[in-house]
Amino acid sequence: MNHMAGSLEQYNTVVWHWPIAVYLFLAGLSAGAIISAIIIKWMKGNDVSPWDGIIKAGAILAPITIGAGLFLLIFDLTRPLHFWKLLIHYNFGSVMTLGVLALFAYFPVVILFFLGVFKKELIENGPFKFLAPFADMALTYAKAIESVTLILAVGVGAYTGFLLSAMNSYPLLNTPILPALFLASGVSAGISANLVVGLLFFKNSTGESNVSYMHGLDVKVIFAELFFLFILFVGMMYQGGSSAHVASAALSSGGLSTLLWVGVIGLGLMLPIGLNFALPHGVKHSHGFVIFNALIVLIGVLALRYYILYAGQTFVG
Amino acid sequence: MQKQYRLLYDENLCIGCQACSIACRVENSVPDEVYRVQVHMQTMGIFPNLGMHYERLSCVMCENPPCVSVCPTNASFQSKDGLVHIDEKSCISCKYCILACPYHARFINPLKNVVEKCTFCYETRVSKELSPACVSICPTDALTFGDMRQSNSLVYQKSHKEVLLFPKAHLGTKPKVAFIPNRKGAKS
């Protein structure tokens, strides 16, 4: 290629960088954390105070992670101070607008959930007495609010997938399975984060049966994730043409494919499954192992988001 | 009055002189390190049977623009003449459009920190019945611009005489820029 035309850089670069990958991870984690907290809360015996440690963990993690993610997203803009325009201009055909609207509703309901769960610490024995009406509302209409929260959380977990799959010139991103893959890995990350926070900070209130239920659910979700990844690449191979080329390049070339095989599949998916089958019952249910397992799952999910974002923009056929 | 603009790029007439790129830079004050239009050249074949292949890279003014459908604030919009423009005031520079554009036509202007691309010189030239800067400067008339609704226009006549190639037509974007593909020279 003759470079008399000038720089080719503009035509070959990754446009969305690592902060977006971290946001995709945090949004999925937040949705997964609140989904798994609500699942535990709806189980027999967990629907009254004192709350289980996993419910507390979810109540804290969901608003903090989504808040941190949005903060990151705003500062990744070229003109961060213009972000408010996103709140007054809407394009209902844009996944980004739909995501903004979902987050608009999602953020308040996860904060309500947080206030309900921590009513005693924050309001009865704490300085936030003026928030009492909100906490009471969260507790009085718990089932209704939590149902809405669950639906919104699925929306937040899946929209990040649609955000990328909406672009039809990137074969690795433009696949129907991506939102399902992101939702599943987000739920897995949320469960893992809840287990880590629950076991480290709310050890006394975290019920043993809930820990093993969550841990067991995580392993099942990991199987679903593996299957979705399999569907993604096999589906692209069967499409032929540039999709097949992109799939084989994404599976076999450069540091990104190493990240996929070692980070996403090896560390994040196969190692947890392998350890769960290989280790004796006693070790498997020790808190140390559950926390270790949760941490490698979290690293795997972050690696998946990073891989999909970068490989999607790099391998374009 | 509604228009149906089309820009033809004849690969057979292009000599790769880059005058279009310079004219564009001057007309639109495009900063040094970014480009609204580039013409890429490639030498093909095996010596002594060599040939040059030229390719124009710029916004192709899609009829179904992916950049407009992904834009969360409607800053990327389509005018009633079907041209795609950017409203700098409502752009939050999230770069979703840069990513969604299959033609890599968009970039961040490093001086103004807003998304920019080829506008067919609408403000300064086309709205005044002039042709875009790149078209008017082209020394070999490789570029032809006009309204397809006027059957006496050169662009209409050339479009009906030549074989046209619409870039990445399989994506369904319906570009308003069409290529007249290379008929001679070395094949890849």
DSSP string, B102-129: TT---EEETTTTEEE---TTTTTTGGGT
Q: What is the DSSP-derived secondary structure letter of residue B61?
A: -
Rounded to an integer, what distance in angstroms lies between the CA atom of residue A311 and that of residue A254? 10
Class of the CATH domain delimited by B5-63+119-180: alpha beta
For an interface test with B, the pick among A18, A74, A88, A89 (most B C-beta atoms closer than 10 Å) comes out as: A89
Task: Give domain limits for chain A.
Answer: 13-314
Task: Give domain limits for chain B.
Answer: 5-63+119-180
Residue type, B86: I
Cross-chain Cβ contact B104/A1 below 8 Å: no
3-state per-residue secondary structure call for A40-60: HHHCCCCCCCCCCHHHHHHHH
Rounded to an integer, what distance in angstroms lies between the CA atom of residue A34 and that of residue A81? 30
| Residue B6 main-chain phi, psi, to 5 deg | -145, 145
Q: Confirm or reject contact between B97 and chain A (CB < 8 A).
A: no
Residue A162 is encoded by which pair of tokens?
């649609």
Q: Are strands B177-180 and B5-10 parallel, antiparallel or unpaired?
A: parallel
Q: Taking CB atoms and an 8 Å cutoff, what residues of chain A touch B102?
A: 168-169
Residue A233 CA from chain centroid, whole number: 21
pLDDT reported for residue A5: 67
Q: Confirm or reject contact between A91 and chain B (CB < 8 A).
A: yes
Residue B37: beta bridge partners? B58
Sign of CA dihedral A248, A254, A256, A259: positive
| Cβ B41 vs Cβ B54: under 8 Å | yes
Q: How many CB atoms lie within 10 A of CB B139?
A: 10
Q: Tell me the shortest Cα–Cα distance from A226 to chain B, in angstroms.
A: 28
Q: What is the pLDDT of residues A96-136, one digit of tens each?
A: 999 999 999 999 999 999 999 999 888 888 888 899 999 99
**Helix or strand (DSSP H, E) at B51:** strand B49-58
| Cβ A116 vs Cβ A49: under 8 Å | no
The interface predicted TM-score of the complex, written ipTM, equals 0.90
Q: Tell me the shortest Cα–Cα distance from A95 to chain B, in angstroms.
A: 7
Q: How many CB atoms lie within 10 A of CB B9?
A: 27
For an interface test with A, the pick among B33, B96, B99, B107 (most A C-beta atoms closer than 10 Å) comes out as: B99
Rounded to an integer, what distance in angstroms lies between the CA atom of residue B120 and that of residue A75? 32
pLDDT reported for residue A226: 97
- Omega cis (within 30) before A50: yes
Q: How many CB atoms lie within 10 A of CB A25?
A: 25
For an interface test with B, the pick among A7, A15, A17 (most B C-beta atoms closer than 10 Å) comes out as: A15
Q: Is the pLDDT of residue B175 over 80?
A: yes
What is this structure's pTM?
0.93
pLDDT reported for residue A1: 43
Rounded to an integer, what distance in angstroms lies between the CA atom of residue A188 and that of residue A297? 7
Rounded to an integer, what distance in angstroms lies between the CA atom of residue A283 and that of residue A279? 6
Q: Confirm or reject contact between A175 and chain B (CB < 8 A).
A: no
Could you say which residues of chain A have pLDDT below 70? Answer: 1-5
Rounded to an integer, what distance in angstroms lies between the CA atom of residue A133 and that of residue A54? 24
pLDDT reported for residue B184: 76
Please tell me which residue of chain A has the smallest CA distance to B36: A10
- Omega cis (within 30) before B48: yes
| Residue A115 main-chain phi, psi, to 5 deg | -65, -40
Q: What is the pLDDT of residues B78-137, one digit of tens each?
A: 999 999 999 999 999 999 999 999 999 999 999 989 999 999 999 999 999 999 999 999
Q: Confirm or reject contact between B54 and chain A (CB < 8 A).
A: no
**Across chain A, how many H-helices and E-strands are there?**
12, 0
Pick the CATH number of A13-314 from 1.20.1630.10, 1.10.3720.10, 1.10.1200.10, 3.40.30.10: 1.20.1630.10
Q: Confirm or reject contact between B166 and chain A (CB < 8 A).
A: no
| Cβ B115 vs Cβ B125: under 8 Å | no
pLDDT band at B8 (very low <50, low <70, confident <90, very high): very high
